Amino acid sequence: MPEASPTLYLLAGALLFAIGFHSLLVQPHVLRRVMALNVMGVGVFLLFAALAARTRGETPDPVPHAMVLTGIVVSVCATGLALALAHRLEAAEEEEREDESAGDGRQARAEHEETDR
């Protein structure tokens, strides 16, 4: 099969970035937002790899490839952290609801004061 056309990939990268950016701003659900960030990331990475593929020689430019590898690992780390934070937040909301429904105003108040720290 002939060589890939880098320009197509550059444009697709731009499109993916814009799609992810849009969803990040309009989607309320945390999982969608995390996916949106990942789609933005894929867009950027496609751009980098397409740049690397534009070289005239046999071998593509290894520097963008290395940067993409770094970027992928950073994305996974960010995703893991975001999801852990989301769980922690849900648990905190759940606790708050439990405190309220327990009707023990004292505890809820104490909880509330803690939050301002």
Partner 1 sequence: MTARADRGHGRASRVAVGALALGLLAALSWAVLSLPGSFDGLTGPALGRLSESGVTNPVTAVLLNYRAYDTLLELAVLLLAIAGVWALRRGDWPAGDLHGRPLVISLLRIALPLLTLTAGYLLWIGAFAPGGAFQGGAMLGAAALLALLSGRAVCARRHTGALRAGLVLGVLVFAGAAGGAAALTGEILRYPPGDADVWILGIEAAAIVSIGLTLGALYLGGRPGDRHA
Partner 2 sequence: MIGPLVDLLLLLLIVLLAWRALNGRDLLRGVIEFIAMGLLVAVAWVRLRALDIALAEAAVGSGLTGALLLSALHRMRRREVRRRDRTDGGEG
Partner 3 sequence: MSLTWAMALLVLAPLAAAALSFALPAIGRWLALATVAAVGSAVVRVAELVLGGGVQVHRVGGWSAPLGINLRADGLAVLMLAITAIVGGVVTLYTPAYLAANRSSPGQRQRFWSPFLLLWTALDALFLSSDIFNLYVTLELLALAAVTLVALVGKRPALEAAMRYLFVSLAASLLYLLGVGLVYGQYATLDLALLAERSATGGPTLWVAASVMSGGLLAKAALFPMHFWLPPAHANAPAPVSALLSSLVVKGSFYILLRLWFEGFSGLMTPAAAQLFGALGAAAILWGSLNALLAPRLKRLVAYSTVAQLGYLFLLVPLAAGPGDGFTAWSGGLIFLGAHACAKAAMFLSAGNMLHAAGNDRIRDLDGVTHVLPLSAFSFGLSGMSLVGLPPSGGFAGKWLLLRAAIARGQWWWVATLLVGSLLAAAYVIRVLLHAFTRVEAPARHRPVPRVMEWTALGLAALAAGLGFAASGSATLLRVGAPWPPAGVGRG
- Interface ranges with partner 2 (CB under 8 A): 1-6, 8-9, 12, 15-16, 19-20, 23, 27, 29, 31-32, 34-36, 38-39, 42, 45-46, 49-50, 52-53, 60, 65, 68-69, 72-73, 75-76, 79-80, 83, 86-87, 90, 94, 97, 101
Q: Which residues are CB-contacts of 47 (< 8 A; sequence separation ≥ 6)? A: 9, 10, 13, 14, 17
What does the alpha-carbon distance between residue 108 and residue 117 come to, in Å, rounded to a whole number? 15
Minimum distance from residue 9 beta carbon to partner 1 (Å): 9
Residue type (1 letter), 30: V
Q: Does the protein bind partner 1 through residue 76 (CB under 8 A)?
A: yes
What does the alpha-carbon distance between residue 98 and residue 108 come to, in Å, rounded to a whole number? 9
Which of 70, 94, 98, 104 lies at the binding interface for partner 1 (CB under 8 A)? 70
Element (H, E) at 32: helix 30-52
Sign of CA dihedral 70, 7, 9, 44: positive
Residues 29-88 that bind partner 3 (CB under 8 A): 30, 33, 37, 40-41, 43-44, 47-48, 51, 54, 63-64, 67, 70-71, 74, 77-78, 81-82, 85-86, 88
